[in-house]
Each structure stands twice: as structure tokens, then as C-alpha cells.
């Protein structure tokens, strides 16, 4: 399960048990019911029970309160020297891991570093006033690691902070992590060479080429790394920090379980770094079908969003399936630029499924499009980049929205299903708008739609 409290867009790709208590602006008190068990020498595991409209197991998160603190200054870190600081962080992480648990402390001040690779039982903690600045040199993120690009597995530049097959890990504190963007900004463009590279990756995935052979680091691909990627890891805590800028997706838990994201502020406004929204995914086409791992049991609550594409987006990469999503008590500040509160998107190539999506107690000002959008023909650049090798439609059902207040919208709901596979069981209850500029409902191929107390109050 995932709980998010945050300020920016997080890509949640194929996640089990995530609680996102995402705070954008101000944290709100969170009631939890933790129980603790010992793990190793010093890391304890807390189990947090979460109320949701579906059954889910408690989230297991690490507690490092009894662990020794290891300052990177004691391992040779020097401000302004990325080589020494990077080496010191790696040494401290290794020491904490060997101790069975430890806190790697980034002291107050600005520290320039290269990539950070986690090991199990490690808490990277940023002191108040600490700023960990990540180099803009792509060479600092080599050798390539097992990562992803928009739902396709490959070997690419290392994420700036990366965990692979780790247990009991955390990034916490009152400090800031920040990406230098000089080079990554130049990579925002999508020239023909870049498009040919992602086309090659797509075809490699479709033809089941081993991931190790999908090498995407060269002079033309320019596939930017994620800022934080937790890959095939579990028992993860991300709390308190501020994240500024990101080359690509900002927070990317991938094939993970037991993830708690709380009291995070994210300021990331750049091309496709998904600065302010939550996108829930589960793999693109053959990748999702191969891995067969849905994103499920995700709770998103107490979020304040200032700008973004959607409050929550589901898809379009959803071939592994998405189910049991609960969005509650969130706010979109007045004046924000947002297309939808909830947007579900797929296409004829995705397959997978979407079911049991709940959204409640949401307040927003003007929304550019509408409260709910569901579209089944969203292909972006892939429409002309590669053909449809196999057609698989996406069953979408059991979508429930209630107690939502917005000011101006173009429509309340736009639901565009497929004639062969209509969208089923959509309920809108207690939806209040101030102005609907076009039509309240724009629907095609929907079965069992229920609107209760959907009103416009001028």
C-alpha cells in the first residue's frame, strides 16, 4: 500500500501497498496505529493500519530511531567536492548496512554529489539546512543500471537516488535534495534520434529481448534518469524532505511494496518530470503483460496541489492492471492549472484493467476540463511511432466519486468508452460546481452510470 503526502507528481508504477500522505503545502496531523517488531540489530518495523474502502494489509515501514548516526563529514565529505562527498556517502551507506541499520547524516550546508545507491537497512537523513545537490554531468550516473523508461525496462543512466532489491530504506529529514539542470534541460527536446531510440526500446520489449541487452546509454537516446527510483524494494519511508527540480519523473517506486511517502514538498517544473500530480501505472504493453504485477492498494490523502496535469492520473501505461485506489481529503488551490481531478487513460494496445477507484472529499477552484475524465484512445507519440502489434482493450469499472466541490469546469464527466467494451459502474455523488461551460456529461459507451445530487450552484 502507498500513502502520499506531497507537493508534486509522483509516478507510482506497479506498486503493492502504498500509502501516500502527500502534503504540498502544510502537513496535517496523521493518525496511525503502529506496532513495532525488531529486525536485525537496530532497525525496527512499524505496521501502520490504514482505513480504506477495500481490504488491505498494514503497511510495514522502517523505524531507525534506535540506529547509530553516521555523518558523511566523518567519512571524508567536503563541501563543493563531488568526488569526495560521493565517496563519503557510499562509505557511510556501506557502514550502516554492515551494522544492520544506520542513519547516514547529511549535515547542514550545501553538498555536491554524484549518484547515490542504497543498500538495505539505511536511512539517508538530511539535517535542517542541508542541501544535497546532484551533479548535472551524465557521466556521474554511469555505469547504466536496471531501470525503466515510461513503462519499458532497460539499462539507462542511474537515477540520482537509486535502490535495487533493498529492504528497510528511508530518505528523511528537514533538508533538501536538488538536481542541477543545465544538461538535463538540453535533453528535454525529442529529436528524431531520441524518438528512434524509444522506438527501438519498444520493439525490443515486444520481441522479449533480455533487459540486459536493452542498453539505452549512447549519444542520441538522451533518456533522462528519474530523481528517486526505488526498484524491486520494500519497506520504504520518504518523509519530510524538499525536492527541487528533477531530470525526469521525480519519485518513482517501481515493483515495490510497503511504501510510505509523507510530508514531502516537491518543486519540479520541467518537461515530463511530472512536477505536480500523481500518476499510477503498471507497465506498457508487453512489459506489463510479462511482469503481471498490478499497482494496487494505494491510498492518497491530505494532499494540496498547486499546479499540474491532473490531481491523480491512472495510466496510460497500465498493462499490469490497476485496482483499489483511494483518494481522500485533497485540495487543489484556487488558481491552479489542472485538467482533471481524476483522469483515467488507456488505448487499444494496453490491455490490463482498471477497477475499484474511489475519490472523496476533494475541493478545487477552476479546473480547465472536468472533474472526471476517462478516455480509451490516448496514444500520444506512439500512435505513429509504432504500429498496433496486438489489440487488447482495457476493462474499466467501479469508479466512485463523492463529496467534491469545484468552481468552474467545462464538464463534470467525460467518459469515452469503446463500443466493444463499455465502461461499467460509474457513480458521482454530491458533486457541486459553480459553472459548467459546456455540457455536464459527455458520455460514449458507458453502462450503469449513476449521478446523485450533482448540482451547479451559481
CA atoms within 13 A on the CB side of 247: 29
pTM of structure: 0.92
Per-residue three-class SS string for the chain = CEEECCCCCEEEEEEEEEEEECCCCCCCCCCCCEEEEEECCCEEEEEECCCCCCCCCCEEEEECCCCCEEEHHHHCCECCEHHHHHHHHHHHHHHHHHCCCEEEEECCEEEEECCEECCCCEEEEECCCEEEEECCCHHHHCCCEEEEECCEEEEECCCCEEEECCEEEEEEECCEEEECCHHHHHCCCCCHHHHHHHHHHHHHHHCCCCHHHCECCCCCCCCCCCCEEEECCEEEEEECCEEECCCCCCEEEEEEEEEEEECCEEECCCCCCCCCCEEEECECCHHHHHHCCCEEEEEEECCEECCCCEEEEECCCECCCEEEEEEEEEEECCCCCCCEEEEEECCCCCCCCEEEEEEEEEEECCCCCEEEEEECCCCCCHHHHCCCCCCCCCCEEEEEEEEEECCEECEEEEEECECCECEEEEEEEEEEECEECCCCEEEECEEEEEEEEEEECC
pLDDT digits (tens, 9 = 90+) for 150-203: 999 999 999 999 999 999 999 999 999 999 999 999 999 888 999 999 999 999
Q: What residue ranges define each of the domains in the chain, with the CATH number in brackets? A: 2-292 (2.160.20.10), 339-458 (no CATH)
Please tell me the predicted confidence (pLDDT) of residue 4.
Answer: 42
Please tell me the predicted confidence (pLDDT) of residue 277.
Answer: 63
Please tell me the predicted confidence (pLDDT) of residue 271.
Answer: 61
Please tell me the predicted confidence (pLDDT) of residue 440.
Answer: 96
Please tell me the predicted confidence (pLDDT) of residue 220.
Answer: 86
Please tell me the predicted confidence (pLDDT) of residue 218.
Answer: 86
pLDDT digits (tens, 9 = 90+) for 4-47: 433 333 444 444 455 665 433 322 223 344 445 555 468 999 99
Spans in the chain with pLDDT lower than 50: 1-16, 22-35, 40, 273-276
Amino acid at each position: 500500500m502507498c500513502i502520499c503526502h506531497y507537493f508534486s507528481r509522483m509516478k507510482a508504477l506497479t506498486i503493492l501497498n502504498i500509502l501516500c500522505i502527500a502534503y504540498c503545502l502544510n502537513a496535517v496531523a496523521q493518525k496511525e496505529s503502529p506496532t513495532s517488531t525488531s529486525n536485525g540489530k537496530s532497525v525496527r518495523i512499524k505496521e501502520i493500519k490504514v482505513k480504506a474502502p477495500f481490504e488491505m494489509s498494514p503497511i510495514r515501514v522502517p523505524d531507525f530511531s534506535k540506529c547509530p548516526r553516521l555523518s558523511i563529514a566523518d567519512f571524508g565529505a567536503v563541501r563543493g567536492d563531488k568526488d569526495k562527498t560521493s565517496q563519503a556517502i557510499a562509505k557511510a551507506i556501506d557502514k550502516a548496512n554492515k551494522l544492520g541499520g544506520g542513519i547516514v547524516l547529511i549535515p547542514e550546508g550545501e553538498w555536491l554529489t554524484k549518484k547515490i545507491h542504497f543498500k538495505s537497512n539505511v536511512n539517508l537523513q538530511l539535517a535542517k539546512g542541508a542541501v544535497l545537490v546532484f551533479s548535472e554531468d551524465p557521466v556521474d550516473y554511469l555505469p547504466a543500471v536496471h531501470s525503466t523508461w515510461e513503462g519499458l525496462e532497460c539499462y539507462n543512466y542511474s537515477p540520482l537516488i537509486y535502490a535495487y532489491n533493498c529492504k528497510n530504506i528511508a530518505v528523511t529529514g528537514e533538508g533538501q535534495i536538488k538536481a542541477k539542470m543545465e544538461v538535463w534541460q538540453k535533453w528535454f527536446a525529442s529529436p528524431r534520434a531520441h524518438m528512434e531510440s524509444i522506438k527501438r526500446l519498444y520493439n525490443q520489449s515486444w520481441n522479449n529481448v533480455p533487459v540486459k541487452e536493452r542498453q539505452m546509454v549512447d549519444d542520441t537516446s538522451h533518456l533522462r534518469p528519474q530523481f528517486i527510483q526505488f526498484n524491486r524494494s520494500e519497506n520504504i519511508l520518504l518523509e519530510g524532505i524538499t525536492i527541487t527540480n528533477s531530470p525526469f519523473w521525480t519519485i518513482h517506486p517501481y515493483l515495490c511494496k510497503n511504501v510510505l511517502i509523507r510530508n514531502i514538498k516537491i518543486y519540479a517544473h520541467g518537461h515530463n518530470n511530472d512536477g505536480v500530480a500523481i500518476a499510477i501505472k503498471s507497465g506498457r504493453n508487453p512489459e506489463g503483460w510479462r511482469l503481471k504485477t498490478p499497482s494496487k492498494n494505494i491510498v492518497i490523502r491530505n494532499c494540496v496541489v498547486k499546479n499540474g496535469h491532473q490531481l491523480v492520473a491512472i495510466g496510460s501505461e497500465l498493462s499490469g492492471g490497476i485496482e483499489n485506489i483511494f483518494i481522500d481529503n485533497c485540495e487543489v488551490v484556487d488558481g491552479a492549472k489542472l485538467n482533471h481531478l481524476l483522469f483515467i487513460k488507456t488505448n487499444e494496445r494496453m490491455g490490463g484493467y482498471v477497477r475499484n477507484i474511489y475519490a472523496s472529499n476533494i475541493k478545487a477552484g477552476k479546473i480547465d476540463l472536468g472533474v472526471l475524465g476517462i478516455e480509451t484512445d490516448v496514444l500520444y507519440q506512439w500512435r505513429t511511432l509504432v504500429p498496433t502489434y496486438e489489440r487488447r482493450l482495457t476493462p474499466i469499472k467501479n469508479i466512485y466519486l463523492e463529496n467534491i466541490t469545484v468552481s468552474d469546469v467545462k464538464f463534470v464527466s467525460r467518459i469515452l468508452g469503446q463500443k466493444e467494451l463499455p465502461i461499467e459502474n460509474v457513480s458521482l455523488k454530491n458533486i457541486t460546481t459553480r459553472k459548467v461551460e459546456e455540457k455536464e456529461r459527455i458520455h460514449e459507451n458507458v453502462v450503469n452510470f449513476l449521478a446523485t445530487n450533482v448540482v451547479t450552484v451559481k
